[in-house]
């Protein structure tokens, strides 16, 4: 698996996707394993993968 990222010493860029899943007025969030914060489900894109494919894969990996 090759992730899309650029590292320039002090700076790093990672191509990421995130999804907003809603049910009425509720929004699905993931909790950080340490319990410190909440975030939208998603993750890094793989090289050659469409962003829609990345999002589908990440949602399945993160949420089952």
pLDDT in tens, 2-58: 667 777 778 877 788 999 999 999 999 999 889 899 999 999 888 888 999 999 999
- Count of domains in the chain? 1
Q: Does the reported pTM lie above 0.75?
A: no
For 9-42, give one letter per residue: b (16+ CB within 10 A) or e.
Answer: eeeeeeebbeeeeeeeeeeeeeeeeeeeeeeebb
Asked whether the predicted pLDDT for residue 1 surpasses 70, the reply is no
Provide the residue range defining the domain that includes 13: 5-63
Give me the pLDDT at residue 54, please. Answer: 92
């Amino acid at each position: 698996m090759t992730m899309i990222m650029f590292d320039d010493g002090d700076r790093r860029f990672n191509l990421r996707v995130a999804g907003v899943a809603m049910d009425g007025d509720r929004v699905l969030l993931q909790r950080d394993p340490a319990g410190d914060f909440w975030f939208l489900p998603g993750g890094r894109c793989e090289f050659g993968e469409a962003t829609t494919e990345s999002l589908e894969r990440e949602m399945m990996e993160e949420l089952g």
